[in-house]
């Protein structure tokens, strides 16, 4: 699992953004290595996903304002990430490899 922070960076979260950026690069590298064997390698890069941890963090008005102002479509539901994973595993995505699917709720 990658992260939106690994694609665009996230101020104050240098280590996290760097680690997730490495997942992005690893995904693309493995996709090139395994494509000839018909093995697809893709990653999902979500922004903030609704969870107990995120909901607790959003009790802080500053964090709530930040998330609501950047993720204009709201928090991402876990089922939306699951649907993205199912798509990537499906036959409909058979020609996709090395892709990073950003599920970011409008957080460009």
The predicted-structure confidence for 25-45, as pLDDT tens digits, reads as follows 999 999 999 999 999 999 999
Q: How far is CA 87 from the centre of its chain?
A: 14
Mean pLDDT of 52-80: 93
pLDDT at 35: 98
Structural contact between residues 27 and 43, judged by C-beta atoms closer than 8 angstroms? yes
Residue 9 host element (H or E): none
Catalytic residue positions? 16
Question: pTM for the full model?
Answer: 0.89
Domains and their CATH numbers in the chain: 4-103 (3.40.50.720)
């Amino acid at each position: 699992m990658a992260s939106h922070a690994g694609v665009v960076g996230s101020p104050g979260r240098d280590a996290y953004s760097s680690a997730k950026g490495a997942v992005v690069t690893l995904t693309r590298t493995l996709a090139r290595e395994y494509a000839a064997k018909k093995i697809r390698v893709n990653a999902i890069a979500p922004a903030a996903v609704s969870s107990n941890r995120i909901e607790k963090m959003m009790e802080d008005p500053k964090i709530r304002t930040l998330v609501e102002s950047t993720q204009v479509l709201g928090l991402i539901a876990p089922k939306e990430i699951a649907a993205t994973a199912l798509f990537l595993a499906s036959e409909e995505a058979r020609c996709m490899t090395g892709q990073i699917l950003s599920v970011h709720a409008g957080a460009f």
